[in-house]
Structure 1
Amino acid sequence: MSTVTYHPHFGPAMPSLNWTPAPRYVLRRDRILRHLRRIGPCRILDIGCGPGALVSELRRAGYDAHGVDRSAKAIALGRHLQQQAPGMELRAEIDESWQGKFDVVMSFEVIEHLAEDVREMRNWRRFLRPGGQLIVSTPAHQRRWNAADEWAGHVRRYERDELIRAVESAGFNVVLVETYGFPLANLMERLCAPGYRKRLAEKARMGLDTAALTDDSGSDRSAHARFWPFYASLPGTLAMRVLCQVQRLFVKTQLGPGFILIARRREG
């Protein structure tokens, strides 16, 4: 029996392995897929892809999507998804032969982990074809910093202007910036913060450093997996679909707790 189930509105899930789409992931996914549909099938590199849930989905939809993640745990989970997405391959490092080969480089909830964010994004630029696009997401507003940021190994949360400056300094022209997640993700940040404080204390007792926290953040969904039966039920699905529609009303505001940015590679 397969460990992977495909939900028609949330994408792949592996509940028996404690990886399921969290509500924030579902909200972000809704916006990202909407933008990618405008681009159409193309060659995509997902940097920091976790187990490759979105890579798997995109391949099944006709995109030539590839994923990279340094976490061995994420790569191991991704092997289960590979069985459901022909040709899917996840790697621990970017292949240098990929320079100039991709139409889109995307990276979600990654740059907030990077001390040298501009340098890393400048490096990612090399893998885009001329005129290729960068799509990133990241937590918004430093005032919203909470225990979940520490648990995930974040270095910062971005303000809008700060994010734009970083991306432009890396050699891109910004096309779009929006927020996502309001109001559900805002509420869940507040509700989940005490649980993350407890888990953070447990991690500290285990002596895990920031790098280990970062590696775990994309593959450890145990806190959400126990609620998967509700999320995947008809009432849960309908609620999430409504909330995905609601967030669209606020993408041009500063209310959402996360940013999505699209930029085009600058030439010359």
Structure 2
Amino acid sequence: MTKRPPLTLFGALRWDVVRRVLPPEPSRVLEIGCGQGAVGVRLAAAGHRYTGVELDATSAEVASGRLAAAGLEGGIVHGDAAELAPGDEFDVVCAFEVLEHLEDDAGALAQWVRLLRPGGLVLVSTPAWPARFGPMDAAVGHHRRYEPAQMRALLAGAGLTDVGGRLYGAPLGYALEAVRNQVARRRLEGDGTTTAERTARSGRLFQPGSAVGGAGVAVATWPFRVVQRALPRTGPALVAWGRTSRSA
């Protein structure tokens, strides 16, 4: 079995939702903002032809090393989607915890849609509920949080159909957010960094430092992953998706 990099606590909750939306057949997958590659290794290990793009050089280097160490095919591009080869097309474009960092979220989404083949899938995750915007959102460079209806409208406005989505993270996610907000108040918020610097560091925060830590996350989150499956309309975070038209 492929050695998989550890997920964060929130990442484990998210992956339990995301993996059920991804196509079961091997597909060409692009991950925008791949961070340190924890999801990328899982996608490649599942047989998908994987490409990740990441603005943060440190995270991109870690992600590339993790793919290589696992003996998996896949490429990591340091930069953004504009760095991809002209004419590149994908079956799936995913972006987990990315849209909230972008001032022009609609423009970015339109760019991602253009990278999809007919019938391709866009799959995103974001923090939910603007009223929950807190110190941690500010500390990691978020511009906003999303209402579920707002996200569906954003995806539809990009020309996607079969738009869907669900909330996740209840009940553990609420406790995790409370802890993160306390950390931000004490250590991160107002530390003089720019929005770009706060965005860059966001993918490095709260990462388990070892395989043992990752195993602990898997065990600790197991009951909460089971519980959240029964609560698709409750939670502090959102997974949403939509498809392009099947006609060229």
- For residues 163 and 237 of structure 1, the distance between their equivalents in structure 2, rounded to whole angstroms, comes to 29
Contact preservation (8 Å) 2:50, 2:73: no
How far did 1:230 drift? 5.8
Contact preservation (8 Å) 2:156, 2:163: no
**Match of residue 239 from structure 2:** 260
In the TM superposition, 1:1-268 aligns within 5 A as 6=3, 11-13=4-6, 21-36=7-22, 38-83=23-68, 84-92=70-78, 93-94=80-81, 95-97=83-85, 99=87, 101-201=89-189, 204-205=190-191, 207-221=192-206, 225=209, 229=212, 232-233=215-216, 237-251=218-232, 253=233, 255-266=234-245
Question: Structure 1 residues 64, 213: CA separation in 2 closer, same or farther (over 3 Å shift)?
Answer: same
How far did 1:12 drift? 1.0
- For residues 53 and 71 of structure 1, the distance between their equivalents in structure 2, rounded to whole angstroms, comes to 15
Give aligned-pair identity as a percent.
32
| Counterpart amino acid of residue 109 in structure 1 | E
Question: Structure 1 residues 69, 237: CA separation in 2 closer, same or farther (over 3 Å shift)?
Answer: closer
- For residues 34 and 96 of structure 1, the distance between their equivalents in structure 2, rounded to whole angstroms, comes to 27
Unpaired runs of at least 5, structure 1:
14-20
Report how many residues are paired: 243
| Counterpart amino acid of residue 24 in structure 1 | F
- For residues 75 and 65 of structure 1, the distance between their equivalents in structure 2, rounded to whole angstroms, comes to 14
Question: Structure 1 residues 78, 35: CA separation in 2 closer, same or farther (over 3 Å shift)?
Answer: same
Q: Secondary structure of the equivalent of 1:175? A: strand
How far did 1:104 drift? 0.5
Superposition RMSD on alpha carbons, in Å?
2.1
Question: Structure 1 residues 108, 230: CA separation in 2 closer, same or farther (over 3 Å shift)?
Answer: closer
Question: Structure 1 residues 98, 241: CA separation in 2 closer, same or farther (over 3 Å shift)?
Answer: farther
- For residues 95 and 121 of structure 2, the distance between their equivalents in structure 1, rounded to whole angstroms, comes to 11
Unpaired runs of at least 5, structure 2:
none
Q: Secondary structure of the equivalent of 1:104? A: strand
1:79-100 residue CA offsets vs partner (Å, 9 max, x unmatched): 3202214322110233443546
How far did 1:70 drift? 0.7
Q: Using structure 1 for the length normalisation, give the TM-score.
A: 0.83
- For residues 43 and 155 of structure 1, the distance between their equivalents in structure 2, rounded to whole angstroms, comes to 30
Contact preservation (8 Å) 2:5, 2:214: no
